[in-house]
Amino acid sequence: MSTGLNDEQLKRVLQGITIPPQPQVMVDLHMEQAMPEPDMSRIAQIISQDVGLSAAVLKFVNSAYYGLPRKISSIQQAVMMLGIRSIANIVNGLAVKSELSDGAIEELHNFWDNAMDVASICSSIANQLGFKYQDECYALGLFHNAGIPLMMSRFDGYKEVLEQGYQSFDFELTDMENKRFRTNHSVVGYYLAKSWALPKACCYVIAHHHRALKLYEERIAGDSKYLTFMSILKMAEHISTTYKQLGRATEDYEWMQIGHYALEHLELTEYDFEGIIDTCREQGIGNL
């Protein structure tokens, strides 16, 4: 099924999509769309590198307009289903909606880069472990910190609190956010993920991704799948050095708290983990 969006449908798609796309991604997409025969696989690859565009595409394809029996988390599949006209309208709509200053682009640079790194590593780890939810893992990695740019745009001084949280030995990031802003990026990210119709497991892990210690220590029946997603995400964050990229921290204090739980849940040794890191390096992803 492939159809174009009209103005009213486009308006509904873009409602709540407040994370601007990367300027270079927009340039790459416009260039590909201008080709005599646009390559939809290439378009899907470009879109999958950007949080805002991926969110808009998944939100529309999972909307009541399509009435799919099962939520789609594969950006490649979503792009193929929507077709070139709808994709062009979504891209153009977001381009009009987001006009960033040079300062805003610089502020979001690390967020964009890290989101793509974590997504790629999550997908790689899932593949290495034989975990069948590879598309969902990619989506989780791409969107898990989606609340950060919204917090940054809404609250003065948010970046400083974010860095302080990552640099705290006890890793009290969300506690610091709650104390200062009466909310935190995990909660904001959860509501964004729900509005984008992401799979239930992704939404759950996004909501709790900085409360992993509690989930591991107080695990309940039925948590195993969620804890697998959580463990893969935490490994990916560590391998991508999120603590450095977003928090300017010298140590990954969160991993120091929960790393052994993540490996234990996946029945991995430290040696196994080193092998996963080496594979990621061979694939050209990861910073460890």
The secondary structure of 46-91 as a DSSP string is HHTT-HHHHHHHHHHHTSTTT--SS----HHHHHHHHHHHHHHHHH
Domain membership flag for residue 78: yes
Q: Are residues 61 and 112 in the same domain?
A: no
Q: Are residues 197 and 259 in the same domain?
A: yes
Q: Can you give the pLDDT at residue 101?
A: 57
Q: Are residues 49 and 137 in the same domain?
A: no
- Give me the average pLDDT of each 10-residue run along the chain (288 residues): 48 55 76 82 88 82 72 86 78 60 69 89 95 92 90 88 95 94 91 82 94 88 88 97 95 96 96 96 87
Q: Can you give the pLDDT at residue 64?
A: 66
Q: Can you give the pLDDT at residue 73?
A: 83
Domain membership flag for residue 213: yes
Domain membership flag for residue 59: yes
Q: Are residues 155 and 235 in the same domain?
A: yes
Q: Are residues 67 and 144 in the same domain?
A: no
d(CA 266, CA 73): 23
Domain membership flag for residue 288: no
Q: Can you give the pLDDT at residue 174?
A: 94
Domain count, the chain: 2
Q: Are residues 133 and 76 in the same domain?
A: no
Q: Can you give the pLDDT at residue 93?
A: 65
Smallest CA-to-CA distance from 116 within 275, 282, 284 is with: 284
Q: Are residues 90 and 192 in the same domain?
A: no
Domain membership flag for residue 159: yes
Helix 173-181 × helix 185-195 angle, to 10° = 90
Domain membership flag for residue 287: no
165: tokens are 């949280």
Look at residues 81, 97, 113 and tell me which one is the last residue of a structural domain. Answer: 97
Domain membership flag for residue 72: yes
d(CA 30, CA 33): 5
Q: Flag whether the pTM goes above 0.75.
A: yes
Look at residues 73, 97, 121 and tell me which one is the last residue of a structural domain. Answer: 97
Domain membership flag for residue 203: yes
Q: Are residues 72 and 108 in the same domain?
A: no
Residue 139 structural domain: 102-282
Look at residues 97, 118, 145 and tell me which one is the last residue of a structural domain. Answer: 97
Q: Are residues 122 and 77 in the same domain?
A: no
As to burial, measured by CB atoms within 10 angstroms (0-12 exposed, 13-18 middle, 19+ buried), residue 72 is buried
Q: Can you give the pLDDT at residue 50?
A: 85
Q: Are residues 150 and 78 in the same domain?
A: no
Q: Are residues 93 and 106 in the same domain?
A: no
Q: What is the CATH number of the domain that holds 188?
A: 1.10.3210.10
Q: Are residues 106 and 238 in the same domain?
A: yes
